[in-house]
Amino acid sequence: MNSIPQLPLAQWVDSFVNWLVTFTGFFNGVTNFIGGINNAFQWVFDLIPIWFFIVLILALTYYVNRDNQRWSLLIFELAGLLLIWNLDFWRDMTQTLTLVLTASLIALVIGIPLGILMSKSRTAEIILKPILDFMQTMPAFVYLIPAVALFGIGMVPGIVASVIFAMPPTVRMTNMGIREVPSELIEAADSFGSTEWQKLFKVELPLAKTSLMAGVNQSMMLSLSMVVTASMIGAMGLGTKVYFAVGRNDAGGGFSAGLAVVILAIILDRLTQSLTRDRKKG
């Protein structure tokens, strides 16, 4: 028999979550704010005709790869998007894309300032590193429990869970990019009397854009990896199709929806990589 008393860790966590639930007004405001961003993205995607949406994606791909054109990617995007349309997954695909874009946008807005803070403060880096490790290694399913308690059922808790899971790469890559700026350039900026803000926005961030965009790429991919998990708490999209297919033991339906997720993931990955290369040349 264990003589050491067991720590009531589960009770402490439950008490903390119950205490957070008392701030209903705050979390309702956050829910409305995130829901507004999500609904705005979805409204735009619903407004654009499918054929025109496909043309926009192809035109964007052509533009960002104009110096190193990859016709194979254009052909893949055209075939993949037409397949999603043909399989009647278009609405589900746009819902998934909305979740990914909303989560990625919030992750960037929060993550980039935290990355800058880490690069400027050793104390902040010591504090934030274990928190980022915790956010990235904790099983994603665990985030769903407090997310539902605080934000209810639907897209918003799925987005919040995705933000927590996807934000660490943005923070880390921003921190790394700024720290890798050559000290000679910093000294040159100091010699010209630049302020800290001028050095940040005119020297450090422009030179860290490649690392920053790599962080954006990773955050988007991690957000997309959460779509099936988020579907368990009411987030609509392709993840819901996969989740329902698992429940019905429908191998064909699950494969079809999973293939649509793969197509969307490849398109987003290649586009963000192309933007990284484009900014690197610029």
- Residue 194, classified by CB atoms within 10 Å of its CB into exposed (0-12), middle (13-18) or buried (19+), is middle
Please name which of 111, 49, 56, 44 lies closest in space to residue 271, comparing C-alpha atoms.
56
Domain ranges of the chain: 25-274
At 38 the pLDDT is 93
pLDDT of residue 214: 87
Long-range contacts of 13-18 (CB under 8 A, 24+ apart): 17/145, 17/146, 17/149, 17/150
Per-residue pLDDT, 69: 67
- Report helix, strand or coil for 23: coil
CATH class of 25-274: mainly alpha
pLDDT at 280: 46
pLDDT at position 44 is 94
Half-sphere exposure of 250 (CA within 13 A, CB side): 12
Residues with Cβ within 8 Å of 271's Cβ and at least 6 positions away in sequence, in order, are 60, 61, 64
- Cα dihedral angle (264, 267, 272, 275), rounded to 10 degrees? -150
Per-residue pLDDT of the chain (282 residues; tens, 9 = 90+): 556 788 888 888 888 888 888 888 888 899 999 999 999 999 999 999 999 999 999 998 888 877 676 788 889 999 999 999 999 999 999 999 999 999 999 999 999 999 999 988 889 999 999 999 988 888 878 888 888 888 888 888 889 988 988 899 999 999 998 888 888 888 888 787 777 888 888 888 888 888 888 888 888 888 888 877 888 888 888 889 998 898 888 899 999 999 999 999 999 998 888 877 644 444
How far, in Å, CA of 224 to CA of 62, rounded?
23
Distance between CA atoms of residues 120 and 196, nearest Å: 10
C-alpha 271/C-alpha 57 separation (Å) is 9
pLDDT score for 78 = 94
